[in-house]
Structure 1
Amino acid sequence: MSSSEIQSDSEDLIQGQKDFDFYADLLNPAEKLRKRIQQSTQKQITKLVKSAKKNEKQQKKTKQIIQKIKNEDLQENNQPQYDPKIFATNTDFQQLKLNKSLIKACHEQGYKYPTQIQAQIIPLVLAGKDVLASSCTGSGKTAAFLLPLMQRFGNTKSQKYSKALIVLPTRELALQCYEMFQKLNQFSNSTAALVIGAVPIQQQEAELRRYPDIIIATPGRIVDLMKNSFSIDLSSIEVLVLDEADRLMEMGFEAEIKEILQQTPRDRQTVLVSATLKATVKQLSLLALHKPVKVSVDYVDGLAYGLKQYILRIDSDDEKDREATLLALLQKKFTEKTIIFVRTKHDCHRLQILLGLKDLSCCELHGNLTQQQRIQAYEDFKEGKYQYLLATDLAARGLDIANVKAVINYEIPYETSRYIHRVGRTARIGNQGVSVTICLKREVSQFKQMIKESKQKLFKLNFNLESINEIKQELKQLESKIKKIIKEEVFEKEIHQTEILAQRAQNLIQHRVEIMRKPKKEWIQSAQQKKLRNQIQEEDN
């Protein structure tokens, strides 16, 4: 049988089965109804399954949208709040004509927009203009002059001279400025040298002989190197920055600043930056600047917008009540990153002993410490190793420590400008912060007069008197321990100084010939003049 015949027989069989089914349905209506119900049920089940799958997809999609919205809200909450009073939200770093590496470094520091002072100063410095700038503390002034200097000199070919000099009043401020340079330079190739006292001068001479783009220095050490070393020459400096200019004048660096101005070219560009514009600063601007552009931003008597000020009044004139009130504050209200400012180095150290006896984690920062001790205290508090930093006004100027929750004035400062710089350690660059000033009964009117011109409100801080009285009783019991510790420390210090003097005498005897061959150092001020200046500073402190 051929294949065509087989195919024909198969088709006949299939057609016959269809015919049989058709006639069977006619003969058996019940079977026909059963099939229809079965088919209808199957269709309903299929439809329901499809609908369930569709609903499941829709629910999943809805959940994804809700989660996305939640994530976006969370990101917005985690983003820093850009207050238009502080940040120039209508511009960005690209519009300031900064290169990509500097913009990336700014974003790494968490800043999407420049601050108002940065938005105004950066274009002026890039254009080569002399600038006289004032702005409240914590508004980003350091980056405002560092960024354009790095932009201008970071991509230049290696030349045998340094291009910019930044002068700051204290070693801590110079160190902080250098740290800011390192953060902004992580994607760039600019170079900088830190030139400060209490650091081996030979090491600094070696760094200067490499001709860094930017020199960051204190006035005393840079003048010392100018007069007594061949490693530095300021005759090729293109840009001079005088940061914290009012403090430079207050600390008696007028002679050093004049010497620096004389040694730098007359056609240099000069940037003078300060938080307050006193008469001495205006006089310095007349001497140092040529047709300057004046910039004043966010300047409400120097106070930051996010600062909430409190006064804590003690209803007595007993100085001993201050310690008890401070301890009550620290134990009950301020338990996180807080700076406590005191007037004198003696009070600062006494409080450090007292807080230590009460098991409160603290460190101290004042002029009686060595440079290494001061740097260590600053770094430890910055890294969060201690809850409290006890400091004199040495630390009030410009130190930028992140997330300082509060500033406590152990007593009112001598003048308004010092108060401004003290409380400026918190509420920095748009953040919120609190300041508390402890006032005796006789000091209340004086303090209110001090901040009278401020547009910000002064709040009263009430405290439980019973807890303060309890602490006063505890302090009476601790007084003997405090005196004993101070006495032991004085004895140890005297022994240490005696050992240093003995070692110095031995070195003079052993190396007398080499020492006598060295040329005598030159100074702007004589030893007697420096001693007189230091005495005046100690009286101020």
Structure 2
Amino acid sequence: MSSSEIQSDSEDLIQGQKDFDFYADLLNPAEKLRKRIQQSTQNQITKLVKSAKKNEKQQKKTKQIIQKIKNEDLQENNQPQYDSKIFATNTDFQQLKLNKSLIKACHEQGYKYPTQIQAQIIPLVLAGKDVLASSCTGSGKTAAFLLPLMQRFGNTKSQKYSKALIVMPTRELALQCYEMFQKLNQFSNSTAALVIGAVPIQQQEAELRRYPDIIIATPGRIVDLMKNSFSIDLSSIEVLVLDEADRLMEMGFEAEIKEILQQTPRDRQTVLVSATLKATVKQLSLLALHKPVKVSVDYVDGLAYDSDDEKDREATLLALLQKKFTEKTIIFVRTKHDCHRLQILLGLKDLSCCELHGNLTQQQRIQAYEDFKEGKYQYLLATDLAARGLDIANVKAVINYEIPYETSRYIHRVGRTARIGNQGVSVTICLKREVSQFKQMIKESKQKLFKLNFNPESINEIKQELKQLESKIKKIIKEEVFEKEIHQTEILAQRAQNLIQHRVEIMRKPKKEWIQSAQQKKLRNQIQEEDD
């Protein structure tokens, strides 16, 4: 190779290197920019992580400070918060030999001390004794039997039977009991099934086949399942609780209760709880209990007001709501018709209210209960359907639109306020001719009685307003009746269509055993009495 060729190749190499350096210089700015962005992003992420950790520490510190303040407030206010008439302040939950998980759940619900009824019942249930307990509503008796049952059966491993059955007279009460169980069970591993009407029976059968520790049921549905399903067997039940026993008897569930007693073991433990000890309850106790320990706790305070004229009731109620009771109040009335009429009236007066009575569907009743409980409404209008066991916190007052038929109903109604030691007031609107009757009722219930006075002019002004609203109320009721009739017609048409469409499947289903309604039971008893 000549020197000229070598020189030419060297020049080409030099030129190629220059070209490479040129393209490298073109690429370098983009590469530098990418690295700069990457570094900047990394720095921002690092800063965010540090900031988040710092915020987390600050939040944790803030929570600790808030908790410290709350604890100090609780310590300062402990003595006035607990009424010695309601709470057994000389006893705590540890002395009742409850486990730490249940005690923690009680404290989470704001209960530092057990109530008087809890302090007496819990040790007896833990010891396996039969109990006959009498206590006014709002005394904490639901937790009194739930806590020991959860203590006894909550730590058991896999099982092939349920161990406790709690029978309650209404769906609402059973639902409240189940909700209380869930609150007390938040740190434990107990299981429970809710067995009530208006819930798909297949769903309940599936739950019962898992053998929950505790079954919370209404008598009608549990007997229905006993007779028509293989998913439940009461022959291994260890503890039977009959809550609101007086109400169970009043509602005509005597036959169902006897059926349940026959299906459960004779050596079971039985706890019978009632607000009143009527003759029917005493007869039931003789049948259901074996050498029971009797427990009785009573305490109620109240307030009353009398009115001059039947026409003054609505005006007096409005005066009470507008001037005296503007927060969370339950108003009890005798009839479903009056309950709904008052709901329309209060709505026209822009008073936030909901209603709870037998003309509503189960879903509507549960919704009304939940809405009032959560504070969506100021007032709850209810018939005696809701008077038993309705557990709503911080109810400021109970107003009886009329005098209840009997003292026991009055006690159950006013028990909706001043629950678990809180303060509350009950007001009864009564006519002059009813005053002596009401005073006797107060005497029997051992309550204090005060008279509430209003300016007659203010009542008369409200009466004039009501006269102007009467035509609107009647119009609304008429429209509702018309809409209800249309709805019922649509339901019947749909039912007929389903019967035609699914006729074969329906005919193949085995017939269920006949369960008598309350009216049929009453008629049967009348016939038997006539035969005797």
Give the structure-1-normalised TM-score. 0.82
SS in 1 for 2:344: helix
Native 8 Å contact 1:121 1:144 kept in 2: yes
Cα deviations by residue, 1:131-184 (Å, 9 ceiling, x for unpaired): 001112211100000000000100011111111000000110000000000000
Structure 1 residue 298: deviation in Å? 3.2
Cα distance in 2 for residues equivalent to 1:36 and 1:215: 67
Which one is further off, 84-93 or 22-31?
Answer: 22-31
Distance 1:9 1:531, change over 3 A: closer
Distance 1:65 1:125, change over 3 A: closer
SS in 1 for 2:435: helix
Native 8 Å contact 2:146 2:181 kept in 1: yes
Native 8 Å contact 1:342 1:410 kept in 2: yes
Cα distance in 1 for residues equivalent to 2:152 and 2:512: 36
1:339 corresponds, among 330, 343, 352, to 330
Native 8 Å contact 1:227 1:523 kept in 2: no
Cα distance in 2 for residues equivalent to 1:202 and 1:39: 62
Native 8 Å contact 1:102 1:184 kept in 2: yes
Cα distance in 2 for residues equivalent to 1:78 and 1:451: 32
Cα deviations by residue, 1:368-413 (Å, 9 ceiling, x for unpaired): 0000000000000000000000000011101110000000000100
Structure 1 residue 449: deviation in Å? 1.3
Gaps of 5+ in 1: 305-314
Cα distance in 2 for residues equivalent to 1:92 and 1:2: 112
Alignment of 1:122 with 2:99, yes or no, is no
Cα deviations by residue, 1:509-536 (Å, 9 ceiling, x for unpaired): 1111111111111134269716959999
Structure 1 residue 48: deviation in Å? 49
Native 8 Å contact 1:326 1:410 kept in 2: yes
Partner of 1:138: 138
Partner of 2:402: 411
Gaps of 5+ in 2: none
- Residues 210-229 of structure 1: pairs in structure 2 closer than 5 A: 210-229=210-229
Cα distance in 2 for residues equivalent to 1:493 and 1:40: 69
Distance 1:7 1:89, change over 3 A: farther
Native 8 Å contact 1:162 1:212 kept in 2: yes
Distance 1:45 1:214, change over 3 A: closer
Structure 1 residue 456: deviation in Å? 3.1
Structure 1 residue 321: deviation in Å? 1.2
Cα distance in 2 for residues equivalent to 1:496 and 1:20: 87
Larger radius of gyration: 1
SS in 2 for 1:458: coil
Give the structure-2-normalised TM-score. 0.83
Aligned length, in residue pairs = 531
Native 8 Å contact 2:407 2:444 kept in 1: no
Native 8 Å contact 2:442 2:448 kept in 1: no
Distance 1:134 1:2, change over 3 A: farther
Structure 1 residue 454: deviation in Å? 3.9
Distance 1:500 1:79, change over 3 A: farther
Distance 1:445 1:7, change over 3 A: farther
Cα distance in 1 for residues equivalent to 2:22 and 2:232: 113
Native 8 Å contact 1:165 1:240 kept in 2: yes
Structure 1 residue 504: deviation in Å? 1.1
Distance 1:351 1:510, change over 3 A: same
Structure 1 residue 92: deviation in Å? 1.1
Cα deviations by residue, 1:55-92 (Å, 9 ceiling, x for unpaired): 99999999999999999567523776222221111121
Distance 1:161 1:2, change over 3 A: same
Distance 1:119 1:8, change over 3 A: farther
Cα distance in 2 for residues equivalent to 1:38 and 1:179: 54
Native 8 Å contact 1:86 1:116 kept in 2: yes
Cα distance in 2 for residues equivalent to 1:4 and 1:79: 112
Cα distance in 2 for residues equivalent to 1:453 and 1:318: 26
SS in 2 for 1:413: coil
Native 8 Å contact 1:155 1:190 kept in 2: yes
Cα distance in 2 for residues equivalent to 1:517 and 1:17: 94
Structure 1 residue 539: deviation in Å? 21
Q: Which runs of 4+ in 1 moved over 6 A?
A: 1-71, 300-304, 533-541
Structure 1 residue 506: deviation in Å? 1.1
Which one is further off, 51-60 or 405-414?
Answer: 51-60
SS in 2 for 1:79: helix
Native 8 Å contact 1:137 1:303 kept in 2: no
Cα deviations by residue, 1:297-353 (Å, 9 ceiling, x for unpaired): 23569999xxxxxxxxxx865422100110111111110000000000000000000
Native 8 Å contact 2:303 2:427 kept in 1: no
Cα distance in 1 for residues equivalent to 2:202 and 2:43: 93
Cα distance in 2 for residues equivalent to 1:468 and 1:14: 112
Which one is further off, 384-393 or 449-458?
Answer: 449-458
Distance 1:127 1:219, change over 3 A: same
Cα distance in 2 for residues equivalent to 1:29 and 1:493: 79
Which one is further off, 125-134 or 64-73?
Answer: 64-73
Cα distance in 2 for residues equivalent to 1:152 and 1:12: 96
Native 8 Å contact 1:224 1:523 kept in 2: no
Native 8 Å contact 1:174 1:196 kept in 2: yes
Native 8 Å contact 1:340 1:409 kept in 2: yes
Cα distance in 1 for residues equivalent to 2:511 and 2:24: 130
